[in-house]
Structure 1
Amino acid sequence: MEPGEPSEPTLSDKLDDDHYPAYTMGQATEILGVTAAFMRSLGTANLIEPLRSPGGHRRYSRYQLRLAARARRLVDQGTPMEAACRIITLENQLAEAMRLNAELQRRTHPSHGSPTP
């Protein structure tokens, strides 16, 4: 490896990474209590795009499992799958916009929100 090149992630890095595709389809369905068809439908609805192992098997991250769990709760409450996925997408976009707005506010007005000595 050349100096300055990123190093390979360690096992500890992978375990701490919310986006590391650590879970197989079987593990994901067992953890969430859903069917493989449900997980595939999340991909069809463009909510989750699992990574693929070298053998072509779907792999899911903890973050993706949280999205799937949220979708399951909405579907269990009677929300159609497509609508549930759209709701989750919009919730995520709103959360990101709010995060960016707060960051911009901190940069623009550094004294706001800071306690005075």
Structure 2
Amino acid sequence: MADAPARFKDLCLDARDHQAVADWWAAALGYVRKDVLDDGTPRERDWPALLIDPAGAGPDIWINPVIESKWVKNRMHLDVVGDRDALVAAGARIVRARGGDIDWDVLADPEGNEFCVFAPE
């Protein structure tokens, strides 16, 4: 089989308050912020925030600052396995509850970025 022309590198998410959204996703996923560059220099607060999986299993996630608010449905989103009620208690909101034709919940993070939550097996 020939090599693919691309490979997955990172996941990026835009946010107006990128620092707060980075903190929210870090807590929701058990990721940690990488606030220091490899040379020991602190990351500037206006730069994108980098989240890393401390277990090394998940992709790096960049939370990028943008000036505009989210106003349409995401064309790409995260799927997570987790506790819907705990995510709602942490600040997510339910966009569409599981039932009928879907076996997952659609939630939105504090800035409205949609993601699907599947119950643990």
TM-score interval, normalised by the smaller of the two chains? under 0.3
Larger Cα Rg: Structure 1 or Structure 2?
1
Instruction: Provide TM-score, normalisation by structure 1.
Output: 0.27
Of Structure 1 and Structure 2, which has the larger fraction of its residues in helix?
A: 1
Of Structure 1 and Structure 2, which has the larger fraction of its residues in strand?
A: 2
Instruction: Provide TM-score, normalisation by structure 2.
Output: 0.27
